[in-house]
Structure 1
Amino acid sequence: MAEPGPPRGAFVVAVNPRAGRGRAVEDAHRAAELLRTGGDEAVVLSAGDLGALVALVRDRLRAQALTTRALVVVGGDGMVQAGLGVLVELAGQGIDIPLGVVPCGTGNDLARHLGVPLRDPVAAAGRILRRLDDPGARRLDVGRARFADGRTSCFATALCAGFDAVVNERANRWLHLTGSTKYLLAVLAEIVRLRTVRYRLEIEDAGGRRRTERRDGVLLNIANTSSVGGGLRIVPGAREDDGLLELFTVAPLGRARFLFLFPRLFSGRHVALASVRIERVRSVAVDAPDVTAYADGERLGPLPVRVDVLPSAVRVLA
């Protein structure tokens, strides 16, 4: 019997060890086992903190760019965000490595949008293998947030700069809870402090027209995909590959009307309400006092921020 040939390449599997209440490392190895069935290697990388993990991944991909089949991230949307940042950086250097997602986090909103199986790492890895050599594999637009101090962050799902950012801040402190239940409880805890924010917006719309306006609201999201917070479908019609973002705002509401609105976010039925406004845009600059921006469930920093889109920035295996 002939000896098997050398591996064709390698998958780099990056895992957030804290995701899924510690289940992510096990899920990463289960996914890696399946990824090896095609004759490729699968190297699992982990680290004690996200910064160290990003450095490991970046160094590995740079050193073995020609033989890397894909970067597979295992965790939640924050782990996806970290992986995207590396891939966008490498794409700027002419290195095009696709992204695979094995969801094992709190929100998993990119996975929801792309139809990736949520609680089955083997099925998610199987989806990656089936899409690996597909010439029609989709490309993912990436949101880019640029802050006044020069920092830049990429995101996959949405940037939040309203009540939902406050909710994220609280939810991230509750390490014993996961999924949409954690987000819902954080909403209920913060509803008593619901406040109207006066935003200053600089908008470039889908047609390239620019305008500046003041807008009051309780929610503001700049979305690349359809949901946030573990399944809140804020922009049900969002597309990840249209080269545009969706500016989602909700006008000032009292607590009772907000509680009427909130459950409709899970089904997308809120879009018919008069208080809801959704606009397709190329870029938005946002400023407001005492507001911290979040994206993909991760804290980015205080406003002001300018957000635009990197069209078709990353090939995604989903």
Structure 2
Amino acid sequence: MSLHYNGATFTLVVNPAAGRGRARRLLPKITSALVAGLPEVNLRVVQTSTWAEARLRCIAAVEQARPPQPGRPRDSLLVMGGDGMMHLGLNAAAGTQVPIGLLPAGSGNDFCRGVGVPTSPAGAVRAIIDGKLRRIDLMSATGNLVDGAEQRWVGSIVSTGFDGRVNYRTNRASFTLGGLVYGWAALAELHRFEPLSYRLVIDGVPREQTAMLIAVGNAGWFGGGMQGCPKADVTDGLLDLTVVNPVSRTTLLRLLPSMYTGKFIKDPAVELLRAREVVVDGDGLYAMADGEELGDVPVTLRAVSDMLSVYSPVGQ
């Protein structure tokens, strides 16, 4: 008689180098906790060494997932690493019924914050074991994107101004300071930054202006714990826009620390908007999304409801 395993399969795709090797150090404890907490689940662990490999492994896990069956957990994709790994996972699972589990091990973990997943390893594991699913919105980004892509899904924020330039510099830093590297990059950019020219179309209405930054968010966090769009709601079917109108460099420097608490929105230079679709264009703009390069403007950003199932204590 042959034995056939018919339980759910959870595929854990890991970037071991995330968080300066933190993911590699945490992996044995994470896998042990998942196995102990989900004895009926077949846990497959895939360690990746490149961005391209991680992307393909995430896509394969979703494509191989079986349709949900009554009385058993769903085949699921788990991703472990920083926001770049979360970005790959959500792009693989977007528009499907395959749940995604988030195991933060990077320096930022902004997408986890934005969807209510604990940033502690133990809390994130517990959310997956408890099995509560939250169905959330994503942001569709289309345009002439990096790597020849025409469309990508975004979980958190698209940055194109001062914030985008800081993000770009952070990714190219030749040294590591953990979460402090974003602050270093902000100071490095600040000394020569000037307001940028934006050409927007917000729900069909053209708008031209200069600004220090215009962040467009699905969820609210970016830059390793900064609340770029503090009032963002991943279930409201809308994008949040945070506009920092032209200010002096001294004022911008003063605002930066309060972005970690969200209190910067009380400043008269800050404007909050909501929209279903935003076209971002302008001079000298380059788009970053979820901490990764998105591409040159123009980009069209659109809120799409009910696109992703996430293991979260918030549940539904």
Normalised by the length of structure 2, the TM-score is 0.89
Match of 1:201 in 2: 200
Structure 1, gaps ≥5 residues long: 205-209
Deviation sequence 1:55-104 (CA, Å, 0-9, x none): 1222233223337532111011111111111112xx3xxx4101111111
Does the CA-based 8 Å contact 2:62-2:76 persist in structure 1?
Answer: no
**1:84 aligned to 77, 80, 90, which one?**
90
What secondary structure sits across from 2:198 in the alignment? strand
Equivalent-residue separation in structure 1 for 2:144 and 2:22 (angstroms):
37
Residue type of the alignment partner of 2:92: V
Larger mean CA deviation between 272-281 and 54-63 belongs to 54-63
Equivalent-residue separation in structure 1 for 2:189 and 2:59 (angstroms):
38
Sort the Cα spacing of 1:174 and 1:7 in 2 relative to 1 into closer, same or farther, 3 A: farther
Deviation sequence 1:152-196 (CA, Å, 0-9, x none): 111111000001111011111225425431111111111111111
Match of 2:98 in 1: 97
Sort the Cα spacing of 1:165 and 1:315 in 2 relative to 1 into closer, same or farther, 3 A: same
Taking only the aligned residue pairs, the percentage that are identical comes to 31
Whether 1:242 aligns to 2:236 is yes
Residue type of the alignment partner of 1:303: V
What secondary structure sits across from 1:246 in the alignment? strand
What secondary structure sits across from 1:60 in the alignment? helix
**1:258 aligned to 252, 256, 277, which one?**
252
Equivalent-residue separation in structure 2 for 1:297 and 1:100 (angstroms):
19
What secondary structure sits across from 1:316 in the alignment? strand
What secondary structure sits across from 1:23 in the alignment? helix
Sort the Cα spacing of 1:122 and 1:269 in 2 relative to 1 into closer, same or farther, 3 A: closer
Equivalent-residue separation in structure 1 for 2:310 and 2:107 (angstroms):
21
Larger mean CA deviation between 260-269 and 290-299 belongs to 260-269
Does the CA-based 8 Å contact 2:13-2:57 persist in structure 1?
Answer: no
Does the CA-based 8 Å contact 2:65-2:76 persist in structure 1?
Answer: no
Residue type of the alignment partner of 1:126: R
What secondary structure sits across from 2:43 in the alignment? strand
Residue type of the alignment partner of 1:267: T
Whether 1:294 aligns to 2:288 is yes
Deviation sequence 1:277-309 (CA, Å, 0-9, x none): 111110100111221100111011111100001
Deviation, 1:265, is: 1.0
Larger mean CA deviation between 144-153 and 218-227 belongs to 144-153
Larger mean CA deviation between 235-244 and 5-14 belongs to 5-14
Structure 2, gaps ≥5 residues long: 69-73
Deviation, 1:202, is: 0.5
Does the CA-based 8 Å contact 1:33-1:42 persist in structure 2?
Answer: no
Match of 1:69 in 2: 75
Deviation, 1:27, is: 2.5
Equivalent-residue separation in structure 1 for 2:161 and 2:104 (angstroms):
26
Does the CA-based 8 Å contact 1:179-1:230 persist in structure 2?
Answer: no
Aligned-residue RMSD, C-alpha: 2.0
What secondary structure sits across from 1:257 in the alignment? helix
Normalised by the length of structure 1, the TM-score is 0.88
Deviation, 1:124, is: 1.3
Equivalent-residue separation in structure 1 for 2:172 and 2:304 (angstroms):
31
